Amino acid sequence: MLRVGEVPIGAVKDGEHVRIRGRASACEVLRTSPVSRRRCVGYRLTVEYRDAERIDGWQHAVDDDAFPPFLLVDDTGEAVVHAPLEIRLNPYRETSVEAASPALASLLTKGGVSASDVYGRKRNFRYVETILMPGDEIVAVGRATIEIDQAGRAASHREPPVLCHLRGANGLVVIAEA
């Protein structure tokens, strides 16, 4: 990520692999993170479980994410960041969570994981939730395209409006703390 020089959004050229810094902003209605219930631009959640009598490691239960396209804004312009994303943001960590929480119960059902083991004993759950909030300062690295987009700006009244879109090299955009 460090080998690509940082560029202001307004100076991005079509087809470049770029690194841009800015503030996150939602393009759509804010999401609600499933466990902590925070309003956010996007989130990634990993849930693990361990049966009560077991002392060995945790087992994977659920991965869930919602990262619709979002804006990255600096003083020179705006760029739309598209998933898939490699996320290097500091996660909100919780050591345990009740399986009875409605949000978690829904995710467990969706993932085919029971809140209790085969003997009816409650399982222990833990999760890591990574959340992108409106206004968070981040850095994004990916392949930029300058596209005709009604949400963009026109260089003159004779040209169509354009907007920078950030797509990852090899299909992945990396976002990290600024």
- Residue linked to tokens 């989130």: 43
pLDDT in tens, 41-71: 999 998 888 887 777 788 888 898 999 999 9
Residue type, 155: A
Give me the pLDDT at residue 14, please.
93
- Residue linked to tokens 């940082």: 6
3-state class percentages of the chain: helix first, strand second, coil last, to nearest 5: 5, 50, 40
Give me the pLDDT at residue 1, please.
45
- Residue 171, both tokens: 């299909």
Give me the pLDDT at residue 118, please.
66
pLDDT in tens, 72-91: 999 999 999 998 999 988 88
Taking the whole predicted model, whether its pTM rises above 0.85 is answered as no
Give me the pLDDT at residue 98, please.
63
Each of the 178 residues of the chain gets a pLDDT tens digit; together they read 457 789 999 999 999 999 999 999 999 999 998 888 899 999 999 888 888 777 778 888 889 899 999 999 999 999 999 989 999 888 876 656 666 577 777 888 887 888 777 677 777 788 888 999 999 999 999 999 998 787 777 777 888 888 999 987 677 788 888 7
CA-CA-CA-CA torsion sign (138, 142, 148, 154): positive
- The answer to whether 125 and 138 have CB atoms below 8 angstroms apart is no
